[in-house]
Amino acid sequence: MRLGAQMSAAGGLYKAFERGEEAGCESMLVFTKSNRQWNAKPVTEEDVKLYHEAAEKYAHIHPVAVHASYLINIASPDAALWEKSYLALKDEVKRAAAFDIPLLTFHPGSYMSGGVESGMDLIALGLKRVLVETAESAPNVTVCVETMAGQGTNIGFSFEQLAYILSQAGPHERLGVCFDTCHVFSAGYDIRTPETYAATIAAFDQTIGLDKIKCFHLNDSKHEMGSNKDRHEHIGEGHIGKEGFASFVNDPRWAGFPAHLETPKTEKSEDGSEIEMDPVNLKTLRDLVRS
């Protein structure tokens, strides 16, 4: 795996590379805009120029993946919110393309006052439409539906739900899945031991197909398996444990795949100072790799 973390783009997306280098990233996850706002500044030629200069300087950090805004909800039964969410997703895809970033991950959404079946159909509708409408503007961007924990009315926590969405929206070469370890575990899939890991991956393969996995989010879980709670923990300090992550980082099927931390950024030391935790979590993962 090409291990990395979610890096801040404060001050310009190009600055994420230097931060990634300091953290020890081989790949990285970024936002191209504020993840909590609908509006975004247009991508300028200068933005792209600075990004490509940094990408060339830090060429060993690749691939880069974009995480779309958390506000997007293309499962919403509210027509106005659905359209607003769809246009935001389309803009995210086009922004990724502007920087030549090959992967974009997004949360499929929540059905809210609607039903799960209609919510899945709405997600598939949005995906199908965005793939068509960005065919020329973003031909090299793969849109990845993220596995979810099942909190509230969130959709995408079962492999069957993801399989249905992908089948209704595709098949399409620009459509994939981002496998989040905390979310999958919280949704009720055991990945704590080599045996349960193998069974869960086999179930994913049978239901969806391993070829759909394009990237990973490696996060431990603050809560127990099947809790449906989306709370990330440092690697090895949650309910998944180090043995579970050892299965991922030593699986030859994932060689070269980008895998990104979304774990807490800092911790307080005994003297009250802050410890940067991305390097610590990345070292924990690398120490699990068997020679």
**Residue in 170, 289, 179, 282 with CA at minimum distance from that of residue 234:** 282
111 annotated active-site = no
Give the C-alpha separation, 186 to 223, whole Å: 7
Determine whether 217 is an active site residue.
Answer: yes
- Rounded to whole angstroms, the Cα distance separating 136 from 155 reads 29
Residue 83 among the catalytic residues: no
The single residue of 19, 95, 232, 260 carrying the catalytic annotation is: 232
Catalytic, 121? Answer no
Give me the residues paired with residue 274 across strands. Answer: 268
Point out the catalytic residue in the list 47, 92, 220, 230: 230
- For residues 143 and 175, give the distance between their C-alpha atoms in angstroms, rounded to a whole number: 5
**Residue 230 catalytic?**
yes
Q: Which member of 91, 92, 146, 233 is catalytic?
A: 146
Give the span between the Cα atoms of 248 and 259, in whole angstroms.
10
The 8 Å CB, 24+ separation contacts for 164-173 are 164/120, 164/124, 165/108, 165/120, 165/123, 165/124, 165/127, 166/208, 166/212, 168/120, 168/121, 168/124, 168/128, 169/123, 169/124, 169/125, 169/127, 169/128, 169/131, 170/127, 170/128, 170/131, 172/131, 173/142
111 in Cβ contact with 117 (< 8 Å): no
**290 carries an active-site annotation:** no
Q: What is the helix (H) or strand (E) element at residue 21, kind and residue range? A: helix 15-23
Residue 70 annotated as catalytic? yes
Instruction: Name 285's Cβ contacts closer than 8 Å, sequence gap at least 6.
Output: 3, 218, 235, 245, 249
Q: Which of 180, 220, 233, 278 is catalytic?
A: 180
Establish whether 287 is a catalytic residue. no
Shortest CA distance to 215 belongs to which of 105, 138, 139, 128?
105
- Determine which one of 121, 205, 243, 262 is catalytic: 262
Active-site residue flag, 232: yes
Q: Which of 2, 192, 217, 260 is catalytic?
A: 217
Check 19, 174, 183, 192 and give the catalytic one: 183
Q: Which of 107, 174, 192, 260 is catalytic?
A: 107
State the catalytic residue, choosing from 22, 60, 70, 253.
Answer: 70
Residue in 67, 174, 192, 260 annotated catalytic: 67
Q: Which residues are catalytic?
A: 36, 67, 70, 107, 146, 180, 183, 217, 230, 232, 262
